[in-house]
Structure 1
């Protein structure tokens, strides 16, 4: 049985699973690259899906503020893509980017006019965001895509200053990512500039087609009436008012010009809002991904389940812009469910679908052999088990083959 890999190992670089201490649970590795653009070495926190295989291609999440966001986002994606059989979203590689100089990297420009409440050192350090995005585009993404098995789908997630970076990247480097999650962004940086830039971009011929944006908005104080803040004019409410202004404008433009959704979290404040925002964002962005089964699909033996699955994943592939196949274990598990329900046509069609999708899989042929054995087709079962053994020798397959051949004798 394949082992789950769940915890981050800070003290050493990643080792292959079979070489790890059995007392450790690992969710990622720490790597580093030398950036010529930023003139510094940058650490990367890399999470690979539990069943990562170079034979499969994975979408990539680029995560800002990895120091505080990595653990929860990795756990969320594993839960939605794998745990308990969930298929809310695809399995994804997560590339966490820890901070070196957060203010420098996550502010796209200096505040103008300069707000007297912003410390002078912060003003001095700010405005390096374009260099940081250049680092991601020209150094980080090429490194990840040459090192790992990646699909042509990227997501950017950021909170606070990171959310500001997310929105600025969407505006000025739109095609870098397919989807964007901005968590309670510092949208009042530079006195309304972000709203003006959205208005200019969406009024122009600039295209946001096939781009998804989700915006999470926190309360200033838990359970407080937001209307009091929106009618206020003091500095303390400027941030939340600016986010609501952007939100109202984007809602007025969606879905014609941008695929956009947002939510105000009345019971969350700035530090607590990321996880619930990211959960809701994944449900919004990947609302097309799960294959939904009705009671009839389970009960009616005449439903063509294999065709239903192929049609669904053709739609998913069209949405992503690249081929997406159902996971072998998903097809197999469903086939065994119908085998157990004695719905033999459904089961057989799904086992054969797995052979078409994964012709080099010994496990797929082993499972097909189980189907033929259950259906009293011994010759076909023997043929399938032999094929499985030729692809991947397993003791349990050999035992089943030997038992059938002994019956023949």
Structure 2
């Protein structure tokens, strides 16, 4: 039985998915750039994963998916990628930047130029725009990784086949949906076939989606012998498919799917979904229930091996997210699976040696094992990199055991209801048995233990701290640091 990996499990607070500030749901922005080859402005619809991520990472670099006719296909493309890379802990696809390129004159943009193999000087102006202006612009202004994809529909699929055939080093993967190979009496189909015969690719992938555009009375079995104009579009696509399936082209991995229940206009969504699943068939970590329940650290090696494979496929180093490794480490630590927990914490140090948090987490490991000397050692090392108040508080606890406490009267000032922003989740803090407790509706109450003025830890949870904020000696909110992220709240009443 295969289980998807849930990156985030909230213990103290449960937040609504993908909440956004104010009352707006935002999935991107529109930018305009001027193109010299096109001689006009072109609008770009841009989505970046941090917009919808629960754990934004400003340093992370992302593959870039360019989609033609962006004003038409942007929403569905972003939806597929966000669902399969973020929602419900999915890791089927990598998170990606999406760049939707608005259409201008589609015939002008998407009609290839004959016999221009490899030469951008004589290429279609739109191809020049992509290669010499748009792609450098995205690389300069966004956290883009080297892996690039191109998606196009209809005439957009035609220009994709031209780019694949003649400028193969521009993109790593292509999705051509209902490509108009019939155009100009299949002139460009013939050119593509002649060019591709002699091409060598470097781990390039192509997916073609074909809709059911058969006229009434014609079946696929009859299509090959049909010569009518009504079937030329689908016949030309199957000619291309026949060539690609029966010709060994070094370095090109190809797949096609025929969608009997979709027409030319409905097929883009399902084609993109299947195309992305085909392109990134290596990306998902297939873990068993045993990997997560047993004390053996075998899954640590599996995780590392998996990301080595991902890195090879993507052509650059891809590391498992720091937050993911940290979560697994604390999860094992909470179960007292010490060998497994230590393996995860050490793996995080290996991947992210410049992050002070990985050393603080390793300190938590030693503190849980009551190895005070090593816990202090790693807390101090983390603090030498970053003056983190949370880690400092943990160090204070170890070096001043049982010396800090608050009276019931001193705890009284923290009592009240606080709202976590921007999620609008209320947390109640109250006194019980001379201790401070927190409660979120529908969840188990948690006892807080003071570790320094205005700072607390959870009694039964490692890696969870709450630091209250003051203004004129009044409590105005708090910051909660958890294995899965940092969250802020304001005092409500």
TM-score (norm 2): 0.70
| Structure 2 equivalent of residue 348 of structure 1 | 342
Q: Kindly tell me: are residues 164 and 306 of structure 1, through their superposed partners in 2, closer, same or farther at Cα, counting changes over 3 Å?
A: same
Residue 234 (1) aligns with residue 228 (2) = yes
| Structure 2 equivalent of residue 322 of structure 1 | 316
Residue 263 (1) aligns with residue 267 (2) = no
Q: Determine helix, strand or coil for the equivalent of 2:184.
A: coil
Residue 92 (1) aligns with residue 96 (2) = yes
| Structure 2 equivalent of residue 104 of structure 1 | 108
Q: Kindly tell me: are residues 303 and 349 of structure 1, through their superposed partners in 2, closer, same or farther at Cα, counting changes over 3 Å?
A: closer
| Structure 2 equivalent of residue 37 of structure 1 | 37
| Structure 1 equivalent of residue 47 of structure 2 | 47
Q: Residue 163 of structure 2 is aligned with which of 157, 169, 173?
A: 169
Q: Give, in angstroms, the shift of residue 47 of structure 1.
A: 1.2
Q: Determine helix, strand or coil for the equivalent of 1:153.
A: strand
| Structure 2 equivalent of residue 138 of structure 1 | 132
TM-score (norm 1): 0.83
Q: Kindly tell me: are residues 256 and 108 of structure 1, through their superposed partners in 2, closer, same or farther at Cα, counting changes over 3 Å?
A: closer
Segments of 5+ residues of structure 1 without an aligned counterpart are 8-20, 111-127
| Structure 2 equivalent of residue 361 of structure 1 | 355
Q: Give, in angstroms, the shift of residue 337 of structure 1.
A: 3.0
State how far apart, in whole Å, the 2-side matches of 1:103 and 1:314 are.
43
The structure carrying a bigger helix percent of its residues is 1
Give a deviation string over 1:128-174, Cα, whole Å, max 9, x none. 98110001111111111111222211110111111111111101111
Residue 67 (1) aligns with residue 89 (2) = no
Q: Determine helix, strand or coil for the equivalent of 1:175.
A: coil
Moved more, 371-380 or 235-244: 371-380
Q: How does 1:158-307 map to 2 (within 5 A)?
A: 158-204=152-198, 206-220=199-213, 225-253=219-247, 258-307=252-301
| Structure 2 equivalent of residue 77 of structure 1 | 81
Q: Give, in angstroms, the shift of residue 218 of structure 1.
A: 0.9
Q: Determine helix, strand or coil for the equivalent of 1:192.
A: helix
Q: Give, in angstroms, the shift of residue 255 of structure 1.
A: 6.8
State how far apart, in whole Å, the 1-side matches of 2:93 and 2:215 are.
30
Q: Kindly tell me: are residues 171 and 346 of structure 1, through their superposed partners in 2, closer, same or farther at Cα, counting changes over 3 Å?
A: same
Q: Kindly tell me: are residues 384 and 83 of structure 1, through their superposed partners in 2, closer, same or farther at Cα, counting changes over 3 Å?
A: farther
Larger Rg, first or second structure (1 or 2) = 2
Q: Residue 61 of structure 2 is aligned with which of 53, 57, 60?
A: 57
Q: Give, in angstroms, the shift of residue 382 of structure 1.
A: 3.7
Q: Give, in angstroms, the shift of residue 227 of structure 1.
A: 3.5
State how far apart, in whole Å, the 1-side matches of 2:226 and 2:334 are.
63
Residue 308 (1) aligns with residue 302 (2) = yes
State how far apart, in whole Å, the 1-side matches of 2:195 and 2:19 are.
41
Moved more, 249-258 or 350-359: 249-258
Q: Residue 365 of structure 2 is aligned with which of 364, 371, 386?
A: 371
Q: Determine helix, strand or coil for the equivalent of 2:207.
A: strand
Residue 154 (1) aligns with residue 148 (2) = yes
Q: Give, in angstroms, the shift of residue 219 of structure 1.
A: 1.1
Q: Give, in angstroms, the shift of residue 348 of structure 1.
A: 0.9
Q: Give, in angstroms, the shift of residue 353 of structure 1.
A: 1.1
Q: Is contact 1:219-1:226 (8 Å) kept?
A: no
State how far apart, in whole Å, the 2-side matches of 1:405 and 1:3 are.
38
Give a deviation string over 1:359-391, Cα, whole Å, max 9, x none. 233433343233223322233334444444555
The structure carrying a bigger strand percent of its residues is 2
State how far apart, in whole Å, the 1-side matches of 2:248 and 2:84 are.
26
State how far apart, in whole Å, the 2-side matches of 1:66 and 1:364 are.
40
State how far apart, in whole Å, the 2-side matches of 1:39 and 1:333 are.
51
Aligned residues: 378
Q: Is contact 2:43-2:102 (8 Å) kept?
A: yes
State how far apart, in whole Å, the 2-side matches of 1:193 and 1:381 are.
71
Q: Give, in angstroms, the shift of residue 316 of structure 1.
A: 1.8
State how far apart, in whole Å, the 1-side matches of 2:17 and 2:360 are.
24
Q: Is contact 1:365-1:384 (8 Å) kept?
A: yes
| Structure 2 equivalent of residue 22 of structure 1 | 22
Q: Determine helix, strand or coil for the equivalent of 1:177.
A: coil
Segments of 5+ residues of structure 2 without an aligned counterpart are 1-12, 115-121, 404-493
Q: Is contact 1:301-1:343 (8 Å) kept?
A: yes
